[in-house]
A and B are shown apart, each in its own frame.
Chain A
């Protein structure tokens, strides 16, 4: 530690170089924080892990097929089932066709929805009661409300795509949860429109069982019950249900991971190159230090510490800038791009920031390693003889 001042001075010896190197670390870290947070937002587990005892029942052939509503009662009778809500993905168009206005629109049974099934979502009890009583009312995730600036009593029109009706909904209140990209409205209101499946079919059943141990048994019981019916089912945990969308984007996910790795490697090279250049310019100086009695291990730790210190500074600035300046600005700027639907659940968690900071230290160590060893291996006579 007594050499800290020396290392510090050496880091700032060439200001331009230092600024440029930390600058590239900052940029890469910000980019990685954005990419990783984007992945997390896509993967958002709506329950944040707490809704482990929820199941989703869909048609065995996939989401394009409807399930008969008559199945609800039979599912409810299975022991261990707490509550079942039919849900329909409306998939309507809000305002215009542009992708940035896309969000999840689901119908549900309000009498049990927040009380018994989606019970880890936080909703004001008064708002929940009002929603139950308002046939054409809807509740929306906090982030979605912020994005569109909805106020209580606002009318929202959704033009149906595969269900050929237009819904005129009234905003009642917001809920908070891991996934805040959806709105929920009454099944009854949708049925009132007399669409072709009204009161006859649903898209999925969203349901809750008493305990985690019941999950496999109940899921198997449901699928067995309807196996030979007109509408065979596929019952999954909520997590598996979400995962099927992620699996389809599987390549994108892997791609982002690869991109992150490659650019990390690239920035390590940039830092390594900088450290090597600065060590090369100081060959004479290093030899003089050795003559004065500093050991090889001293030289090694000086150069390595320099690299780590520089990366650390970059990491610190990068993390702070990412969290407070660049990412908030970027998220705002991208609200009008096709990326917007992915940003609804976009959060920069401290875990990600911490990991990014850790990565910056790793970059410093990796980058400083080779130049540090090379400088420490230098023979004093060669170093003194060399004209730089």
Chain B
């Protein structure tokens, strides 16, 4: 027969200070763990949001990022005649030839950062249905106007509507904000491709962005690009392209595991200490429990459950703390460097259900490690010696 849960709960309540401190330690450890993990999942989410497998990025073979690629005007023209591309109402293929560059501009805090500038056209907008204008207007060709992501002004200085952004010899007048719903495009500045070609004196494109009629024709298009000896280009679905960019977040994941493992073992040592103290303070109690008929197994389970409870409370508090932190304290998007492009990608910390479950499981693991050995000691006690203890 099991020892009632109430016994454990009341025991935790009696030793308020000791319980409180242990709970607090677990809480902190869980918060730190969730913090690092959500950093990684934030980067990953940004790079996977709205990435479509119907849209294909056509770039030079070997390029790891759009910016590294070069597509000549002739190649861009050739691409328009390849199979699999969707056509608009007027029968024109849905294709956007784009030029990318990097500008080093000051952040709102005075430091500087690299931001990706995308020269595109209205087609670029049409091809990415998840991106829409939210304020101001679309840039007009031939005017050196630009639009920026609506989250950019909170991080970068001088990119609000009406500002003129300067970097080296580049000049852009910001005329509107777009919302890319948290995807990687939310870290970018968009302008007209011909204007960017003129300003950068590069009469070429970086990539050609194509919308296929469906996933199957996307494959057909990719095959066609590969088969065309004149092009020396390769096609990748947008989804695959961004998946490859995710290596940027990988070191953060390693960091999370590192921090998680070390702090978890450290904290479970703390929990183990608390539980050992509980066992030795309650030896007579344990003897009594055994004397009135509870089995060794019940004692073992009871103490493990008590440790699990202790850590679970910490885990719940830690998750709550992380939740408050991500939703009330860190409201602005955070940035980190994409090592493939040397530009900054913006992302938000967010607590996803898998992360919450992960945090709770993490706390229970600490509870189990911390509780098992003390519980085993309690269960091994001889009734007679336990009762004789003062």
**A interface residues, Cβ below 8 angstroms from B:** 14, 16-17, 20-21, 23-24, 27-28, 30-31, 34-35, 59-65, 91, 93, 97-99, 102, 159-162, 164, 196, 230, 232, 234, 244-245, 247-252, 255-256, 259, 262-263, 265-267, 269-270, 272-274, 276-277, 281, 334, 337-339, 341-342, 388
* B350-376 near A? 1/0 per residue, CB < 8 Å: 000000000000000000000000000
Whether A161 contacts B64 by the Cβ 8 Å rule is yes
Whether B263 contacts A28 by the Cβ 8 Å rule is yes
In the complex, chain B residues whose CB is within 8 Å of the CB of A59: 168
Whether A161 contacts B28 by the Cβ 8 Å rule is no
Q: Which of B91-132 contact A (CB under 8 A)?
A: 101-104, 107, 111-114
Could you say which of A91, A97, A252 contacts B68, with CB atoms under 8 Å apart?
A: A91
Whether A338 contacts B254 by the Cβ 8 Å rule is yes
Q: Which residue of A lies closest to B29 (CB)?
A: A266
Could you say which of B67, B170, B247, B266 contacts A24, with CB atoms under 8 Å apart?
A: B266
Q: Bound state CA distance, A91 and B64, in angstroms?
A: 10
Q: Bound state CA distance, A28 and B270, in angstroms?
A: 12
B contact residues, total (Cβ < 8 Å): 69
Q: Which of B31-39, B145-153, B298-306 contacts A (4 or more CB under 8 A)?
A: B31-39
Could you say which of B104, B113, B266 contacts A27, with CB atoms under 8 Å apart?
A: B266
Whether A266 contacts B255 by the Cβ 8 Å rule is no
Q: Which of B1-9, B47-55, B286-294, B329-337 contacts A (4 or more CB under 8 A)?
A: B329-337
Q: Bound state CA distance, A247 and B247, in angstroms?
A: 20
Q: Bound state CA distance, A341 and B339, in angstroms?
A: 11
Given the interface contacts A251-B336, A334-B254, does A20 sit within 8 Å of B272 by beta carbon? yes
Chain B min CB distance to A310 (Å): 12
In the complex, chain A residues whose CB is within 8 Å of the CB of B277: 17, 277, 281
Whether B169 contacts A232 by the Cβ 8 Å rule is yes
Q: Bound state CA distance, A30 and B258, in angstroms?
A: 11
Given the interface contacts A63-B102, A262-B31, does A97 sit within 8 Å of B266 by beta carbon? no
Given the interface contacts A31-B263, A64-B67, A162-B69, does A263 sit within 8 Å of B201 by beta carbon? no
* 4 closest Cβ pairs, A-B complex: A60-B168, A338-B250, A162-B68, A61-B168
Q: Which of B14-22, B73-81, B156-164, B219-227 contacts A (4 or more CB under 8 A)?
A: B14-22
Could you say which of A35, A63, A250 contacts B111, with CB atoms under 8 Å apart?
A: A250
Q: Which of B266-284 contact A (CB under 8 A)?
A: 266-267, 269-270, 272-274, 276-277, 280-281
Whether, in the assembled complex, B342 has its beta carbon less than 8 Å from a beta carbon of chain A, the answer is yes
Whether B68 contacts A161 by the Cβ 8 Å rule is yes
Given the interface contacts A248-B114, A248-B344, does A338 sit within 8 Å of B247 by beta carbon? yes
Q: Bound state CA distance, A244 and B272, in angstroms?
A: 45
Q: Bound state CA distance, A142 and B281, in angstroms?
A: 57
Q: What are 6 residue pairs bridging A and B, where the CB atoms are less than 8 Å apart in the complex? A: A20-B270, A31-B263, A61-B168, A61-B170, A62-B114, A339-B254
In the complex, chain A residues whose CB is within 8 Å of the CB of B28: 262-263, 265-266, 269
